[in-house]
A = this chain, B = another copy of it.
Amino acid sequence: MDYVYGPGKNHLFVPGPVNIPEPVIRAMNRNNEDYRSPAIPAMTKTLLEDVKKIFKTTTGTPFMFPTTGTGAWESALTNTLSPGDRIVSFLIGQFSLLWIDQQQRLKFNVDVVESEWGQGANLDILAEKLAADHAHTIKAICIVHNETATGVTNNLATVRKLLDHYRHPALLLVDGVSSICALDFRMDEWGVDVALTGSQKALSLPTGIGIVCASPKALEASKSAKSVRVFFDWNDYLKFYKLGTFWPYTPSIQLLYGLRAALDLIFEEGLDNVIARHSRLGTATRLAVEAWGLKNCTQKEEWYSDTVTAVLVPAHIDSTEIVKRAWKRYNLSLGLGLNKVAGKVFRIGHLGNLNELQLLGCLAGVEMILKDVGYPVTLGSGVAAACAYLQNNIPMIPSRI
């Protein structure tokens, strides 16, 4: 039943889907249930309440769509905008590119602000556009918090500041797919109108829930948004929320129990501790990359991502070969370079339910692969650099002190 078995654990370091913790796998190991019995609504109620915490919102309304991140994008856009609406969107890598493609196919008037891949969103241009938009033709700003293809984290606080500075009423729609629950994300504080993530990222679940969280302003916008939508319509959910049955169509029972378990683990660890752990993993990875004498695809420190690191390889090396060898020889799954950076970068995903020793095993593996493909790395150098930092910074596990 297993395809291409290899001995020992698979070392899963793609930036999604990520490792699922055992307690979550256990929680999902179950038969179906009637979702119209009192049990599922009772559980759903706790989920809707608790899921807001990972967005750091008290005023938002969450929707848990049986879909992927792509579906969550579509839900965010179609519920708040009408065909022809002008939106400003930042193209900084493959996932922002795909979102823009979706925006265009959904018939919005997309004002694309492009950056070189490896750079963050160009907020200077945003400032200019906002300054110039006295008529408020811009209906929404669409921005990916963390571009998974290049390992670039955008500064959302600044986006909010600019909107406030220019008193611009545009909605702020944020793709938090590879950030929420791993990076510092503050929906209410940053005035994010729609934020979204997917279950298979930092929540460490299987794929299958696209969580979309709408601010009161976004909900208001949904009343007049003319984009055609049915499956992704918030309004159907809101109707069932009022009825207390919560689901306009059948949810995955297993994923609901899994989400319950995943949130319980996150709260047990503490969301801020989870974020701090990701910071440690990100820093350790970057120190290793530096020790190997390689460059981070992310061009400036301000954009460094704590969930994924895209590593540039020397011109004579094909990064695809690195990813292939990782899987074929070391049972290690790394992320490919995509589109413009195909062959040029490989990616180490370090998000989700992951600890430092898991990462160090991966880094040791990368060193051997680099040597395999002819890059003159000093074996142990990256691990040493990472350990030097980690040994000073890993906290005791609170439950075990």
Tell me the A residues contacting B by CB distance below 8 Å.
1-12, 14, 16-23, 25-40, 42-43, 66-71, 73-74, 83, 101-102, 105-107, 198, 200, 206-208, 227-233, 248-255, 257, 260-261, 265, 268-269, 274, 277, 327-333, 335-336, 353-362, 364-365, 367-368, 371-372, 378-381, 383-388, 390-391, 394-397, 399-401
Most buried by B among A74, A250, A265: A250
**Residue A39 contacts which of B3, B18, B269, B387 (CB distance < 8 angstroms)?**
B3
- 6 residue pairs of the A-B complex, CB under 8 angstroms, read A2-B23, A5-B265, A12-B34, A17-B253, A328-B397, A379-B391
Chain B residues in 8 Å Cβ range of A36: 14, 335-336
**Given A257-B1, A336-B36, also A231-B358 (CB < 8 A):** no
A258 and chain B: residue at smallest CB distance: B254
**Residue A12 contacts which of B16, B33, B328 (CB distance < 8 angstroms)?**
B33
**Residue A69 contacts which of B16, B250, B385 (CB distance < 8 angstroms)?**
B250
**Given A36-B14, A253-B207, A327-B400, also A20-B31 (CB < 8 A):** yes
**Residue A356 contacts which of B30, B232, B330, B357 (CB distance < 8 angstroms)?**
B330
Report the separation of the CA atoms of residues A6 and B401 in the bound assembly, to the nearest whole angstrom: 11
* B328 and A261 within 8 A (CB): no
* A33 and B10 within 8 A (CB): yes
* A37 and B357 within 8 A (CB): no
Chain B residues in 8 Å Cβ range of A390: 368
* B34 and A260 within 8 A (CB): no
The 4 A-B pairs with the shortest beta carbon distances in the complex, nearest first, are A380-B384, A8-B355, A361-B361, A17-B32
* A4 and B397 within 8 A (CB): yes
Chain B residues in 8 Å Cβ range of A37: 4, 327, 333
**Given A252-B206, A329-B396, also A14-B26 (CB < 8 A):** no
